[in-house]
Amino acid sequence: MTEVASKVAEFKLKSVSGPTQVDLTLRPPGPLMVGRRSTHDLALVGDDHVSRDHAKIELRRLTHSGKTSSEASDWAINDMGSRHGTWVNGARLTPGRQCPLRVNDEIVIAPWTFRVVGPGGGTGMASSIRIKTIEDTDSMAGSISRVAPGAERTLAQKRLTLLLDCAGAIHGAHDENSLAEAVLDAAVLGAGFANAALLRALEEDGTIEVVAHRGEIMDGARGARLSRSLIREASKGNAVRLPAAMHHRDEAHSIMQLDIDDALCAPIMIGASVAGFLYMDNRNVGGSTRAAEDATEFAVGLARLAAMAMASLKRIDLERRHALLEAEQAAGAEAQRWILPPRIGSFTPFTYIGESKPGRNLGGDFFDVAPLGEGKVAVALGDVSGKGVAASVLMTATQGHLHALLREQHDPARAVSTLNRFVHPRRPEGRFVTLWLGVFDAENETLSYVDAGHGYAFLMRSNGEVERLDAEGGTPIGLAPDVEYTGAVTPFRAGDRALVVSDGLIEQPMRTTGQRRGAAFGAEGVLACFSSAEQPDIVGALFDAIRRYAQSERLEDDATAVQVQW
C-alpha cells in the first residue's frame, strides 16, 4: 500500500434498506467494483435492477494538504453506464463522471439504499446525537394505527399560515440543521405537541440520530427515549400515530413508563427513500396538553416541505462538489500544460512538433524534448495506465525524473532502466507507464531508441518509405523493480521524419448512431495520414483526421503525438 493510501481514513457503505443487509468497507487503494457479479467487491445479487458492472468507487488521490476530515473522504463513486442508474442524495449520476462522497450521503442502487459512514461509524454532523430507541415491538404489536396516504384533509387557516411561514423559513435554510430548526418551530406551534424532534433514519439496531429537538425529548444523561416500533412503522413510508387512549392499555408498558399520552411520527421521503422523521409526542403533561385534531395532517405537510427542502440542499451540495472537482481538475490540467514543452521547437539541425490532448481534464500522456548538446536531442512519449488524478500524478513524476536523467545519461537504455527503479516503488497499485524514448544524433546520423511496452513509433525515410520503430526494448515501466532495458539503433539522416503517437489515437473509435462502438482508427489510419501528409505539420494533420473520424472535438482517451524532422 502506498504512503498516500495509508493516510486515507476508513469509510463504509452501510445498507439502510434492501433485500439483504450488506456493508462495504472502503479500503485503499481501490477501485472497488459494485454490481451483480459475484466477484465484485460489493456483489448485489438477485435483482435485475442492478447491472452486472453497475458502479465503481475509487480514490480521487486528491487530499486537502494531505489531511482528511470526519466529513470529507477521498473516495468518489462513478456510475458505469448502468441501466437503472446510481443515485446520490436523490440525484442521478451522469455515467463516467466522478461524484466525490461525503459522510452521511445516501446512495441508491435500487432496490438497495446505502449510507456513507465515517471512521468509527460517525456521520460527520457535530450537532447530531446518536441514541438507541426502546425495544417495545412485542408490547406494541397491533397498537399503532397507520395513517393512509389519502387521509389528508383541508388544513385550517391557522395551519395553512404556519405552513406558509415554515416554507419561507425553510427556503432560507442554508444547511440541514437550520432546516430542522425551522420545521420544529412550526411543528410545536401548529400541532399541539409539547415535544418534537427531527430524526435521521433508523438503523437495524434501533439507533437513530436526533438532528434537532424541542421540549423534553432529551432525558438527561440517558439521551432521548423514543418508541422504536413507532419509528420503525413510519420507516415503511406512512405517517403513524399512537392515540392518547393507548396509555391505558396494559401492553403499552414501555410507553407508560415515559408517561406519553399521544405520539406521532411522519417520514421525510426523498423519492422512494426515507431520509428522516418528524417525531412529536406529549409526555409528562398529565393531560394538560392535547394535540390538535388535524395534527397528523399538519405533520404530513411539514414532512413534505422538509423533504423538498432537504432534497434541494443535497442537490445544491452535489452540484457544489462537482464544481469543486472540476475546478481542481482544471487547475491540474493547466499545470500539466505548462510543464509540457512548447508545441513547436528547434534544436539544430532537428525540429519537432508535439501535441497532447487529455481525454478528460487531467491526462496520463506526456511528451518531452531535451537538448543534449553536441548535435543530440532526446524525445520521449509516455502513457500512464488509467485516467484521472492518479494517472496525472504519476505522469508528472515520471516526466520530471526522466528529464533530469537525460541531462546525465545520453544512453536511452540506461536512462529508462534508472527511471524504472525510480517509478516502481512509487507507483500506485496497478499503475504502470509505457514509454518510447529516442536520442537523435546528427553527428553520427543515428537514432538510438528504447520501446518500453509502447509500440507506436514510425520512421519515414527521405524517399517516402515508412518503417516501424518497434524493436523489443522491455516491459512497461514500473511492473518489475530490476528490469534492464535494451535499445536499438537505426540510421536517421537529413530529410527523414519520425512520428510517435499514444494509444489514444490508435484506439479512437468511429462515431456510430447505435450503442455499439465503431471500428478503431488503428495504426493503419495513423500510417495513412503519415504517408500522405505533404505539409510540415504532420501532428496537426493527424489530429484533424482523428477528429473527423470521431466526429467530435473530445476524444475518448488521452491522445499525444510528436514528430521529429531533420
- Residues 295-327: pLDDT tens digits? 888 888 888 888 888 888 888 888 888 877 777
Q: Does the structure show a pLDDT above 70 at 456? A: yes
Higher pLDDT, 225 or 147: 225
Where b means 16+ CB within 10 Å and e means fewer, 205-230 reads: ebebbbbbbbbbbbeeeeebbbbbbb
- Residues 257-281: pLDDT tens digits? 556 778 899 999 888 888 889 998 8
Contact criterion met (CB below 8 Å) for 219 and 244: no
Q: Does the structure show a pLDDT above 90 at 352? A: yes
CATH code of domain 3-121? 2.60.200.20
Query: What is the mean predicted confidence (pLDDT) over 163-176?
Result: 73
- Provide the CATH topology of domain 340-565: Phosphatase 2c; domain 1 (3.60.40)
Range with the poorest average pLDDT among 211-215, 250-254, 437-441, 527-531:
250-254
Range with the poorest average pLDDT among 78-87, 104-113, 292-301, 403-412:
292-301
pLDDT of residue 495: 92
Count other Cβ atoms within 10 Å, centred on residue 308. Answer: 16
Residue 378's nearest CA partner among 487, 466, 536, 484 is: 487
Read off the pLDDT band of 376 (50, 70, 90): very high
Maximum average pLDDT range among 62-76, 279-293, 303-317: 303-317
Where b means 16+ CB within 10 Å and e means fewer, 472-498 reads: ebbebbbbeeebebebbeeebeeebbb
Peptide linkage before 111 cis (omega within 30 of 0): yes
pLDDT of residue 5: 47
What are the E-state strand segments in 105-227? Answer: 106-109, 112-117, 129-132, 145-146, 195-200, 207-214
Residue 90's nearest CA partner among 437, 99, 196 is: 99
pLDDT of residue 397: 86
Q: What distances in angstroms separate CA 266 from CA 24, 115, 145, 436, 493, one per listed residue?
A: 30, 21, 12, 65, 82
pLDDT of residue 560: 92
H-assigned helices in 132-175: 157-171
- Average predicted confidence (pLDDT) for the chain: 81
For residues 519 and 536, what is the distance between their CA atoms, to the nearest angstrom? 28
Contact criterion met (CB below 8 Å) for 40 and 56: no
Count other Cβ atoms within 10 Å, centred on residue 366. Answer: 28
pTM of the model: 0.52
pLDDT of residue 248: 44
Q: Does the structure show a pLDDT above 60 at 104? A: yes
- Residues 419-429: pLDDT tens digits? 999 999 988 77
pLDDT of residue 441: 96
pLDDT of residue 127: 55
- Which three-class secondary structure string do you get for 35-76? ECCCCCCEECCCCCCCCCCCEEEEECCCCECCECCCCEEEEE
CATH 3.60.40.10 boundaries in the chain: 340-565
Residue 353's nearest CA partner among 541, 533, 492, 538 is: 538
Count other Cβ atoms within 10 Å, centred on residue 364. Answer: 31
Name beta bridge partners: 241. Answer: 145, 264
- The tally of CA atoms less than 13 A away on the side-chain side of residue 388 is 18
Count other Cβ atoms within 10 Å, centred on residue 392. Answer: 28
Read off the pLDDT band of 172 (50, 70, 90): low
Instruction: For residue 263, give every residue at least 6 positions away whose Cβ sits within 8 Å of its Cβ, in sequence order, or none.
Output: 227, 230, 241, 242, 255, 279, 280, 281, 282
CATH 2.60.200.20 boundaries in the chain: 3-121
pLDDT of residue 464: 86
Residue 18's nearest CA partner among 54, 39, 49, 51 is: 49
Which residue has cell 430507541?
133
For residues 559 and 140, what is the distance between their CA atoms, to the nearest angstrom? 66
pLDDT of residue 308: 86
pLDDT of residue 152: 46
Contact criterion met (CB below 8 Å) for 473 and 451: yes
Query: What is the mean predicted confidence (pLDDT) over 220-227?
Result: 65
Q: What distances in angstroms separate CA 472 from CA 406, 413, 455, one per listed residue?
A: 21, 12, 9
Range with the poorest average pLDDT among 214-228, 398-412, 548-562:
214-228
- Residues 496-521: pLDDT tens digits? 999 999 988 998 888 765 556 678 89
For residues 418 and 481, what is the distance between their CA atoms, to the nearest angstrom? 10
CATH 3.30.450.40 boundaries in the chain: 129-314
Q: Does the structure show a pLDDT above 70 at 183? A: yes
For residues 191 and 487, what is the distance between their CA atoms, to the nearest angstrom? 83
pLDDT of residue 4: 44
Read off the pLDDT band of 147 (50, 70, 90): low
Residue 498's nearest CA partner among 327, 408, 369 is: 369
The four Cα atoms 343, 345, 351, 355 give a dihedral, to 10 degrees, of: -10
Contact criterion met (CB below 8 Å) for 522 and 546: no
The helix or strand, by DSSP H or E, that contains position 282, with its residue range, turns out to be: strand 273-283
pLDDT of residue 249: 47
Read off the pLDDT band of 223 (50, 70, 90): low
Read off the pLDDT band of 65 (50, 70, 90): very low
Contact criterion met (CB below 8 Å) for 198 and 128: no
Q: Does the structure show a pLDDT above 60 at 10? A: yes
C-alpha cell at 63: 487530499
C-alpha cell at 268: 421525510
Read off the pLDDT band of 229 (50, 70, 90): confident
365-368-372 Cα angle (round to 5): 160
Higher pLDDT, 516 or 198: 198
pLDDT of residue 457: 94
Task: State which amino acid sits at residue 488.
Answer: A
Query: What is the mean predicted confidence (pLDDT) over 112-134?
Result: 72
C-alpha cell at 528: 495513412
Q: Does the structure show a pLDDT above 90 at 396? A: no
Which residue has cell 469543486?
324
Contact criterion met (CB below 8 Å) for 54 and 79: yes
CATH superfamily of 129-314: GAF domain (3.30.450.40)
Peptide linkage before 536 cis (omega within 30 of 0): no
